[in-house]
Structure 1
Amino acid sequence: MNFESINIWCWIIPILVGLLCAIFGYLLGKGANATIDNSSELIELKNRNAKLEADLAACTQKMATESLEMVSSEIPFNKSAAKAAMGKNVKQDDLKIVEGIGPKIEGLFHNYDIKTWKALSKTTVSKCQEVLDSGGDRYKVHDPASWPMQAKMCYEGKWKELNKWQVEHKHGKL
């Protein structure tokens, strides 16, 4: 190979390209390692998180307080008022006081964990029908449409209204 015949530019161009690539690579690498200052954003997010945790704790406390108030706000059972209005002794949460419910149907409701007037008052008519259907064909003649309403009157201690309603509506049918 004859070095005298090789043009000088054949040596200078690769050297210049190599130097430019080295400088460009150095600058790119240096820029990638530069850290971005996110400390203010991080502090803001930590403060926001602390506020949300405090709100959650306040809500949890409020829910606990309200549930205690709900338990304590149960309507007391007045046995003498029930006896005066109904004309017979009434036991608390006796589902048989509801017109149309007898001992066997009461047992069916107890099987479904519906044991109080309050629970029966919050039960839908379709759920009452489901309870009756679980007892078989002999309970098809019963109509549970008014049972939740009657149970609500019992729970709220509206004995005179219940007695009047039961007298006006023969056999508890609407």
Structure 2
Amino acid sequence: MNLDNIWCWIIPLLVGAICALLGYLLGKGNSKTEVIDNTEELNSWKSKNGKLQADLDAANAKLNATANTPVVDHSATLKALETENAKLKTDLDLCQGKLKSAASTNVVSSLAAGAVTGLVFNAADAKAAYGKKIKQDDLKIVEGIGPKIEGLFHNFGIKTWKELSETTVEKCQEVLNSGGERYRIHNPGSWPLQAKMAYEGKWIELVKWQDEHIGGKL
């Protein structure tokens, strides 16, 4: 076999081997699996799942605690609400009474000069403010005046709110002194002021004033 014939065989074999090797390498590269790193996403879902589980456990615990809680006495809360409701109703009634009586306040008597006038007593307004019926010119509406002291004022001819509102504190003290040591110790300093509010029908102001001044003391 001559040298030329040998190369005729070797060269095709080498070319075939090289092609085979290239084909193998290309095929291996195409079949390579791509790896994706989703660690961050997985951690996020794990965190959300843990929170949901914690929320669920807390809800179940609260449900069990509620189911095992004994009956609670709400009487004190209900009484407070009833008191507040009654006060609101009183205020509402008073406002409605004000609307109805706005035009009813008028002059009932006057002197020739027209300087002195009398006011109409509105029993509805007074009752709305105090929650009870109020008698006109009842001096006992004044904080500090009781039945006995009222009687002393009547003895001095002071029988109405208007008359008491125009009486000086010194005169009030004189009236008290007439009843002896037992009545002399009372402080009449606010009585003309309270009587004036009653005479003028300022019931809300009077009630508020009396609530803020224990015993009618200034």
TM-score by length of 1: 0.60
Is 1:78 aligned to 2:122, yes or no?
A: yes
CA offsets, 1:38-88, max 9 Å, x none? Answer: xxxxxxxxxxxxxxxxxxxxxxxxxx6225x63xx3110000000001121
- Residue 159 of structure 2 is matched in structure 1 by 115
Deviant stretches of 4+, over 2 Å: none
CA–CA distance in 1 between the matches of 2:164 and 2:176?
A: 13
CA–CA distance in 2 between the matches of 1:143 and 1:87?
A: 27
**Correspondences of 1:141-152 after superposition (within 5 Å):** 141-152=185-196
Where 2:189 maps in the other structure, the secondary structure is: helix
**Correspondences of 1:34-49 after superposition (within 5 Å):** none
CA–CA distance in 2 between the matches of 1:65 and 1:131?
A: 32
Q: Percent identity?
A: 69
Is 1:155 aligned to 2:199, yes or no?
A: yes
Note the residue ranges of structure 1 that are not aligned, 5 or more in a row.
Answer: 1-63
Paired residues in the alignment total: 109
Offset at residue 100 of structure 1 (A) = 0.3
Offset at residue 140 of structure 1 (A) = 2.5
CA–CA distance in 2 between the matches of 1:122 and 1:66?
A: 20
**Correspondences of 1:158-169 after superposition (within 5 Å):** 158-169=202-213
CA–CA distance in 2 between the matches of 1:121 and 1:89?
A: 21
| Aligned mate of 1:65, from 100, 112, 132 | 112
CA–CA distance in 1 between the matches of 2:177 and 2:184?
A: 7
Question: Which structure is higher in RCO with an 8 Å CA cutoff and minimum separation 6?
Answer: 1
- Residue 43 of structure 1 is matched in structure 2 by none
Offset at residue 136 of structure 1 (A) = 0.1
- Relative to its length, the structure with more helix (as a share) is 1
Q: Tell me which structure has the larger Cα radius of gyration.
A: 2
CA offsets, 1:93-145, max 9 Å, x none? Answer: 00000000000000000000000000000000000000000000001231000
Is 1:133 aligned to 2:195, yes or no?
A: no
- Residue 103 of structure 1 is matched in structure 2 by 147
What's the C-alpha RMSD, in Å, of the aligned pairs? 1.6
CA–CA distance in 2 between the matches of 1:128 and 1:93?
A: 17
TM-score by length of 2: 0.48
Amino acid across the alignment from 2:112: T
Note the residue ranges of structure 2 that are not aligned, 5 or more in a row.
Answer: 1-110
